[in-house]
Structure 1
Amino acid sequence: MDELELLKRDWQKKDKQLPQISFDEIYKMIWKKSSSIVKWIFFISVIEFALPHLLYFLPSMSKSLAIWKDLGLGNFLLFSNVVQYSVVLFFIFQFYKRYKEISSLDNAKQLLSNILKTRKTVKYYVIFCLSLIFASFMVMAVGIYLNEDPMTAMGYSYRPENISPEKLKTTLIATVVVLGVVVTLVMGCIYFLLYGILLKKLNKNYKELKDMDI
């Protein structure tokens, strides 16, 4: 049992007319833990934003960008990048704002309110990121469907002799759709590990404060 649990048990045994020094100690510990959790959420979001830019230096990433342009999806790629940067930077700013707010709080009710706001912000952020990932694959599937020769556009010169162009296109579209579902699910699991564990701890802090009848 950690120090916070011991302090909480001791506080609950005290008479309400006694000075609530232990309550202040418990609140300060919850406040510090919450501030640390939100700080990590902010740091992870910044790393997550910066990491893909490092991947642009890889040859495989350059080839992937070229495929998008060859499929006639260059404008969508530009538009999605603008939307992604704008929204992600907005969320990063919100995480930083929540961290600064919680770090300067001295009121338990305000801490409860900010924990709720942080939970909602993380939830919307994860939904946006997963939606953007899935939408990107769906748009690529549409690009393949509209392209007369998607194999050439994707940089493949190999042509199977025992399959018609229409069936080949359908196979490519189905592959992209399935891949989109798989990647979205995998990224969902990663987001659960990155943010879910932190939110679980944040929820625990929230329940601790609620149980103290603030």
Structure 2
Amino acid sequence: MDELELLKKDWQKKGEQLPQLSYKEIYLMLWKRSSSIVKWIFYISIIEFLVPHLLYFLPVMSKSLAIWNDLGLGNYLVFSSVLQYTIVLFFIFQFYKRYKEISVMDNAKQLMKNILKTRKTVKYYVIFCLSLILISFLVMAGGIYLNEDPLSALGNSYDIEQLNPEKLKVTLSLSIVIMGFVVTLVMGFIYFLLYGILLKKLLKNFKELQDIDV
């Protein structure tokens, strides 16, 4: 049981010789806790944005970029990168904006409204990120299927004439699609750990505010 729960129990006690907390004191506790949660959402989004860029220094990333170009998907990669940067930076700004707004809240109704806006923003952000991951895999699968020599594009030197080209393309494409769904599910679980727990705490704060805002 956290400090706020203990204080709430103290606030609700009637007739006992213990200090009683006022509505304002309970609100301030919820406000500080909500502000801290939104701040962490903002920080995590920045870290999530920066960490993948460190991977570009790894050799495997250079090979991955080469595969996209060899599959004729270089233009898509550029477009998706620009789109990703634009929208992710927009969401990071929105998280920062939510944090600044929540830092100057002076009443429970405004705080509840900001909590709902923050939860909605995070949900849209997660949906966008997961959708982009899945779409990228689907586009790669399509690029493999339409490529005349997908094995070479993927960095293999097998003689495609010894294989059934159509069967090979279908097998590779389906493998990429399945991998895409698996990666999306794994990333969804990671996002749940990163943001889901914080959103749950925000929802709890929202319900607490509803209880005291009577």
Q: Same fold (TM over 0.5)?
A: yes
Distance (Å, rounded) in 2 between the aligned partners of 1:174 and 1:59: 26
Supply the AA of the counterpart residue of 1:11.
W
The corresponding residue for 2:6 is: 6
Report the AA paired with residue 115 of structure 1.
Answer: I
The CA distance in 1 between the partners of 2:89 and 2:14, in whole Å, is 47
Please give the alpha-carbon distance, in whole angstroms, between the structure 1 residues aligned to 2:64 and 2:3. Answer: 51
Shift of 1:21: 5.1
1:38 aligns with 2:47: no
**Given the two structures, how large is their TM-score scaled by the length of structure 1?**
0.93
Alpha-carbon separation, structure 1, partners of 2:157 and 2:167: 17
Q: Which amino acid aligns with 1:136?
A: S
The residue number in structure 2 matching 1:198 is: 198
Q: Deviations over 1:111-161 (max 9, x none)?
A: 000000000000000000000000000000110111100111111102478
Aligned length: 210
Amino acid at match of 2:124: Y
1:59-92 CA-to-partner distances (Å, cap 9, x unmatched) read: 0000000100110000000000010000000000
Contact 1:7–1:22 (Cα < 8 Å) also in 2:
no
Question: How far 1:13 sits from its partner (Å)?
Answer: 4.2
Q: CA RMSD in A?
A: 1.6
The residue aligned with 2:102 is 102
Residue 209 (str. 1) matches residue 214 (str. 2):
no
What is the distance in 1 between the residues matched to 2:170 and 2:146?
Answer: 11
Query: Superposition pairs for residues 36-115 of structure 1, below 5 Å?
Result: 36-115=36-115
TM-score by length of 2: 0.93
AA aligned opposite 1:61: M
Question: Which consecutive unaligned segments of at least 5 residues does structure 1 have?
Answer: none
Question: What is the aligned-residue identity percentage?
Answer: 76
- Structure 2: distance between partners of 1:7 and 1:169: 64
Q: Mind listing any 5+ residue stretches in structure 2 that lack a counterpart?
A: none
Residue identity matched to 2:47 = I
**Amino acid paired to 2:213:** D
